[in-house]
Chains A and B, each alone.
Chain A
Amino acid sequence: MAKKVLMKGNEAIGEAAIHAGCQCFFGYPITPQTEVAAYMSRRMPQVGRVFLQAESEVAAINMVYGASGAGVRVMTSSSSPGISLKSEGISYIAGAELPCVIINIVRGGPGLGGIQPAQSDYFQATKGGGHGDYRMVVYAPSSVQELVDLVQEAFDVADQYRNPVMVMGDGMLGQMMEPVEFKERQTTRNLPEKTWAANGLRGRQNHNVINSLFLKPEELEAHNRKLQAKYAEIEKNEVKYELYNFDGEVDLAIVSYGTLARICKNAIKMLEKEGIKVGLIRPITLWPYPKKAFDEVMDKVKVGFISIEMSEGQMVEDVKLSVNGRKPVFFYGRSGGMVPTPAEIAKKIKEIVGGAK
């Protein structure tokens, strides 16, 4: 077993990417993820790989497009306003079916917003910040260890499906230090060779083209249908979630992800002492959304579900779609960098459960 080291989330992201064979990193400073770039600027040259600070997030994501198209593992990292700028590039990357890993350490918006932790980019990440019928796998780790594991997984998933993958944390996850272990890992996935890479003919007969332009409607539709088939495959295979405290019936089920889910667990423990039993569905993939988790626990839930978010209510829409009218859905959120406390969450839940009892 590798020794556990205490590491900041943002730095752990960099180290995880290096372990996963990331060859190029293109970034641009923005709080609260700047340490990713700083770490990579130090480490990548040490391991003979590429670190480059781009002139903007727009440039950085297009550098990713170039490097990924050339067949190497590549990552970029930013925070909310920067991801908005990357959204154009992400759409092109999805359209051209290129694998890459994008880190988003979310801060509060809209606009310049603030720099404190938030989850208000859920829509942007899961419903496509960019244009077109595309999907991107979105992981939402809740600890630095899970962050490390998922960053590594993200590179494999990206390569397997030729698709962009986002790992989304919040400012807390990026800034906090926790013990982590970098496990020696071997992928169990069957990763296709990158025969499509445009890195020079080098004796190849046909030229490779990295492209998302299809001027004929029939062709574009066919391309889109092919993408959809791929997305369906991802939905079938890649859903990840955690169920917590669902042994037996629960009064209410919380749905919450990322670091906030940990806070919810604390609230659940508080409520337990008062005789209120609450379960937690923690989506680990935000897309594909773990709809089946809801089916699994539906019969155990007495009062309903509550989506708890650091936003004004975004994931709650997917919760409603997943519950599909079978039980009431409630919402509790703080935003702008306000982080709910366990006590605050417990109070809200008591109100709901008390009202129902």
Chain B
Amino acid sequence: MPHQEIIFAGFGGQGILSMGKFLAHAGLEENLNVSWFPSYGPEMRGGTSNCSVIVSDEPIGAPLVTDATAVVVMNRPSLDKFERYVVKGGLLIIDSDLVNREPERTDIEVIKIPAQRIAEEVGSKKIANMVLLGALVEKTKIVSMESLLKALKEHGKEQFYELNKKALERGAEFAK
């Protein structure tokens, strides 16, 4: 898919930044232009964390995403903040185990995934981020699953590869 701008957001420690990194690595794997830009500084301490990822077949402008083709949120404050960033017709993916309100927008597509429960079934709540990433990639086709797995293999911790892979696949299945 030519040009997509994604925001991942949640609490620090949920693997928000690494979700974005894997996606960016996968984009590079496909020879696309990519950028990854994290929130930084003490705001991370307040617990929130987010990153912008752009994958494009054209040169990338600002790495900071304000008009997102997709937003993935893993907590309520992130939904509150980033719901309005989704472009009309764009995609919003919510970890429904952690976000206790319904999105307000009606002009976008919403996927609610019980990512914590699915991750737990796979082996650990810690990989809920991968469930969501799997769903994102399946739905947007932003990169191929093969590239994503390759990125995971090269840049992720080896001992978690199989687990992560399973989580990605479960997420993808859910979004089908």
Contacts and interface: CB of A to CB of B under 8 A. Distances in A.
B40 A176 contact: no
B64 interface: yes
Contact of A176 (B28, B33, B36, B41): B36
Interface residues of A, number: 22
B63 A176 contact: yes
Given A115-B41, A341-B66, A262 B24 contact: no
B36 A262 contact: no
A339 B64 contact: yes
* Contact-residue bracket for chain B: 20 to 34
A32 B39 CA distance: 11
Interface string B48-83: 000000000001111110110000000000000000
Interface in A146-205: 171-172, 175-179
Given A6-B24, A177-B21, A31 B62 contact: no
Contact of B60 (A175, A262, A339): A262
A265 interface: yes
B61 A175 contact: no
A53 interface: no
Nearest to A178: B35
A104 interface: no
B141 to A, nearest CB: 21
From B36, B63, B67, name the one whose CB has the most chain A CB atoms within 10 angstroms: B63
B37 interface: yes
Contacts of A171: 40
A31 B39 CA distance: 12
A32 B40 contact: yes
Contact of A177 (B35, B40, B61, B64): B35
A172 B37 contact: yes
Contacts of A266: 61-62
Given A259-B62, A339-B62, 13 more contacts: A6-B36, A31-B42, A172-B62, A176-B37, A177-B36, A178-B34, A259-B63, A262-B60, A263-B62, A265-B61, A266-B62, A341-B66, A341-B67
